[in-house]
Amino acid sequence: MTMVTPQPLDQEDEEMLVPHTELVDGHGPQPVQGPVAFDGTPPIEVPQPMEVVGQPEVVSTAENQAVEEPQVTTFTWRIENFSRLTNKKLYSDPFVAGGHKWRVLIFPKGNNVDHLSMYLDVADSSSLPYGWSRSAQFSLAVVNQVHIKFTVKKDTQHQFHARESDWGFTSFMPLSDLYDPSRGYLINDTCIIEADVAVRKVIDYWTYDSKKETGYVGLKNQGATCYMNSLLQTLYHIPYFRKAVYHMPTTENDMPSGSIPLALQSLFYKLQYNETSVATKELTKSFGWDTYDSFMQHDVQELNRVLCEKLEDKMKGTVVEGTIQKLFEGHHMNYIECVNVDFKSTRKESFYDLQLDVKGCRDVYASFDKYVEVERLEGDNKYHAEAHGLQDAKKGVLFIDFPPVLQLQLKRFEYDFTRDTMVKINDRYEFPLELDLDRENGKYLSPDADKSVRNLYTLHSVLVHSGGVHGGHYYAFIRPTLSDQWFKFDDERVTKEDMKRALEEQYGGEEELPQTNPGYNNAPFKFTKYSNAYMLVYIRENDKDKIICDVDEKDIAEHLRIRLKKEQEEKEDKRRYKAQAHLYTIIKVVARDADLLEQIGKDIYFDLVDHDKVHNFRIQKQTPFNQFKEEVAKQFGVPVQFQRFWIWAKRQNHTYRPNRPLTALEETQSVGQLREVSNKNNNAELKLFLEIEIGPDLHPLPPPDKSKDDILLFFKLYDPEKEELRYVGRFFVKSSGKPTEIILKLNERAGFSPDEEIELYEEIKFEPSVMCERLDKRSSFRSSQIEDGDIICFQKIIKSEGKYRYPDVPSFLEYVKNRQIVHFRSLDRPKEDDFCLELSKLHTYDDVVERVAQKLNLDDPSKIRLTPHNCYSQQPKPHPIKYRAAEHLLDMLVHYNQVSDILYYEVLDIPLPELQCLKTLKVAFHHANKEEPVIHNIRLPKQSTVGDVLNEIKKMVTLSHPNAELRLLEVFYHKIYKIFPLTEKIENINDQYWTLRAEEIPEEEKNLGPQDRLIHVYHFTKEAAQNQMQVQNFGEPFFLIIHENETLADVKVRIQRKLEVPDEEFSKWKFAFLSLGRPEYLQDSDVVSNRFQRRDVYGAWEQYLGLEHSDTTPKRSFTANQNRHTFEKPVKIYN
Active site residues: 226, 473
User: Distance between CA 392 and CA 341 in Å, rounded?
Assistant: 9
Amino acid, res. 25: D
Distance of CA 843 to the CA centre of its chain: 36
Contact predicate 864/905, CB 8 Å:
yes
User: Distance between CA 264 and CA 247 in Å, rounded?
Assistant: 11
Distance of CA 134 to the CA centre of its chain: 28
User: Distance between CA 269 and CA 252 in Å, rounded?
Assistant: 15
User: Distance between CA 407 and CA 302 in Å, rounded?
Assistant: 13
Please state whether beta strands 995-1000 and 918-926 pair in parallel, antiparallel, or not at all (unpaired): parallel
Q: CB neighbours (10 Å) of residue 832?
A: 9
User: Distance between CA 945 and CA 948 in Å, rounded?
Assistant: 5
Residue 464: closest CA among 1040, 897, 4: 4
DSSP 683-731: -SEEEEEEE-EE-TTS-EEPPPP--TTEEEEEEEEEETTTTEEEEEEEE
How many helices (H) and strands (E) would you count in the chain? Answer: 26, 59
Residue 936: closest CA among 919, 953, 917: 953
For residue 48, CA distances in Å to 113, 114, 908 come to 20, 21, 81
* Beta-carbon contacts of residue 1039 (< 8 Å; ≥ 6 apart): 976, 1005, 1014, 1015, 1016, 1017, 1097
Query: What angle is formed at CA 423 by the lines to CA 417 and CA 425, rounded to 5 degrees?
Result: 115
Contact predicate 496/509, CB 8 Å:
no
Map residue 34 onto helix, strand or coil.
Answer: coil
552 CB-side CA count, 13 A: 2
User: Distance between CA 179 and CA 185 in Å, rounded?
Assistant: 7
User: Distance between CA 166 and CA 102 in Å, rounded?
Assistant: 10
Q: E strand or H helix at 564, and its extent?
A: helix 558-579
Contact predicate 742/699, CB 8 Å:
no
Distance of CA 92 to the CA centre of its chain: 46
Residue 238: closest CA among 486, 534, 551: 551
Task: Find residue 772's DSSP bridge partners.
Answer: 763
DSSP state of 321: T
For residue 866, CA distances in Å to 879, 881, 909 come to 10, 6, 14
User: Distance between CA 945 and CA 949 in Å, rounded?
Assistant: 7
Amino acid, res. 259: S
Amino acid, res. 622: Q
* Beta-carbon contacts of residue 333 (< 8 Å; ≥ 6 apart): 346, 347, 348, 349, 397, 398, 399, 400, 446, 448
Tell me the residue length of the chain. 1135
ω before 768 within 30° of 0 (cis)? Answer: yes
